[in-house]
C-alpha cells in the first residue's frame, strides 16, 4: 500500500486590487495579518515542504508558516494563477464565460483548461517527489478551483463564486499515490 500524502492548498489572503500587476499584487494589511491564522492552523500538521505560486500574494501568504517551520518556500511557476491577458473590469462575467466554456480565453490569456493542465502537471510532480509527506501549496482561487474540478467535474462556476471572498482559504487533499481519496475544507478561526 502506498503512503498517504496530504496536500494543504492555501489560497492567498486578501490582496490589494488597486495593483493590477498579477505577479506583484501585494497583500492588504488585513491579508498580512491573516497569514498568522494560516500558521496557527497548519503549524502542528508535520509539514515537511512548502511550495507556492511565484506570485507575491501567494508567497507572502505562506511565508509566515514557512518561517515558523524553518522551511524555505519553493516557488513553482506551474502553480501560478490562470493568466487573464489583460485587466478585466467585469470579473464575474469573465469568470462565468470561462466556467461555461473551459476553452474560453482573451487574446494572450489562458483558458481554464490550460491553467488546469499546467497546475495538475506541477501538482502531480510534487506528489511523486514527496510521497508520504505533508505538503503546503500556496495557490489562487481559480487555480485551486480548476484542481478541484479535475477530481470532481460537478465543481463549477457557482462553487468557484462561493469561495471568491474566502481569503485565506485552506483545502486538504489526501492522496494514495497519485489518486485522491478525500478533499476537505480546513476551518480557519479568526
| Bridge-based pairing state of the strands 4-11 and 169-176 | antiparallel
pLDDT recorded at residue 87 = 79
| Cα–Cα distance measured from residue 148 to residue 155, given in angstroms and rounded to the nearest whole number | 7
For the cut 90, the answer to whether the pLDDT of residue 85 exceeds it is: no
* Exposure on the CB side of residue 53, measured as CA atoms within 13 A: 30
- Confidence band, pLDDT 50/70/90 cuts, at residue 25: very high
Give this prediction's pTM: 0.95
- Grid cell at residue 134: 505533508
> Taking residues 122-132, what's their average pLDDT?
97
| Cα–Cα distance measured from residue 170 to residue 69, given in angstroms and rounded to the nearest whole number | 18
CATH architecture group of domain 16-169 = 3-Layer(aba) Sandwich (3.40)
For the cut 60, the answer to whether the pLDDT of residue 17 exceeds it is: yes
For the cut 60, the answer to whether the pLDDT of residue 1 exceeds it is: no
Query: Is the separation of the CB atoms in 111 and 142 below 8 Å?
Result: no
Domain boundaries of the chain, sorted by first residue: 16-169
Amino acid at each position: 500500500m502506498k503512503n498517504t500524502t496530504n496536500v494543504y492548498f492555501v489560497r492567498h489572503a486578501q490582496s490589494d486590487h488597486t495593483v493590477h500587476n498579477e505577479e506583484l499584487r501585494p497583500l492588504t494589511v488585513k491579508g498580512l495579518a491573516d497569514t498568522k491564522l494560516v500558521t496557527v492552523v497548519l503549524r502542528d500538521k508535520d509539514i515537511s515542504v512548502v511550495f507556492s505560486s511565484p506570485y507575491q500574494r501567494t508567497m507572502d501568504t505562506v511565508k509566515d508558516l514557512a518561517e515558523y517551520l524553518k522551511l524555505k518556500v519553493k516557488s513553482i511557476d506551474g502553480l501560478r494563477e490562470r493568466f487573464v491577458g489583460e485587466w478585466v473590469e467585469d470579473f464575474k462575467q469573465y469568470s462565468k464565460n470561462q466556467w461555461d466554456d473551459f476553452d474560453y480565453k482573451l487574446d494572450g490569456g489562458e483558458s481554464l483548461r490550460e491553467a488546469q493542465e499546467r497546475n495538475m502537471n506541477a501538482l502531480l510532480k510534487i506528489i511523486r517527489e514527496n510521497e508520504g509527506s505533508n505538503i503546503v501549496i500556496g495557490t489562487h482561487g481559480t487555480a485551486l478551483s480548476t484542481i478541484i474540478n479535475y477530481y470532481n467535474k460537478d465543481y463549477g462556476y457557482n462553487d468557484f463564486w462561493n469561495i471568491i471572498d474566502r481569503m485565506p482559504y485552506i483545502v486538504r487533499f489526501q492522496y494514495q499515490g497519485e489518486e485522491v481519496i478525500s478533499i476537505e475544507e480546513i476551518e480557519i478561526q479568526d
